[in-house]
Amino acid sequence: MDFEAIIMEGILILKIKGELDQYNADKYRLRFDMKIVSPEVQKVVIDISELSFMDSSGVGFLVGRFRTAKAFAKELVLVCNSNYINKLLSTCGIEKLIKKYTTIEEALS
């Protein structure tokens, strides 16, 4: 897994690429949380459009980041346009918890 973090105008954009599995979720959990709780961040957009694989640990990772953001009164949304990942998120009920968009532009508006 590779990720890129960009902060602009109070919005943290986290772009995740590759695989989001147990190994990577454990490896990046703290790094993501430190960025989310930054005082300059008001909204978090996690872009998972370029994920090639995600398992239940990846789903748990996303829910954990949502809880972190919520605990610090920050909005968190997802960007995903992969049929495979969308089906997984839908099956797990993530869409009831986290707003999901198909493009970053939609998520930022």
pLDDT digits (tens, 9 = 90+) for 22-65: 998 988 899 899 999 999 999 999 999 999 999 999 999 999 99
Which domains are delineated in the chain? 2-108 (3.30.750.24)
CA 87/CA 75 separation, integer angstroms: 23
Instruction: Please provide residue 83's backbone torsions phi and psi, each rounded to the nearest 5 degrees.
Output: -60, -45
What is the pLDDT, as a whole number, of residue 39? 94
Q: Inter-axis angle of helices 83-92 and 56-71, to 10 degrees?
A: 70
One-letter identity of residue 5: A
For residue 58, count CB atoms less than 10 angstroms from its CB and return exposed for 0-12, middle for 13-18, buried for 19 or more. Answer: buried
Decide: helix, strand or coil at residue 51.
strand
**pLDDT at residue 67 is higher than 90:** yes
pLDDT higher at 58 or 2: 58
What is the pLDDT, as a whole number, of residue 107? 95
Take residue 42 and report the two structure tokens written for it. Answer: 């008001």
pLDDT digits (tens, 9 = 90+) for 70-102: 999 999 999 999 999 999 999 999 989 999 999
What is the pLDDT, as a whole number, of residue 21? 92
DSSP characters over 14-34 = EEEEEEESHHHHHHHHHHHHH
What is the pLDDT, as a whole number, of residue 59? 94
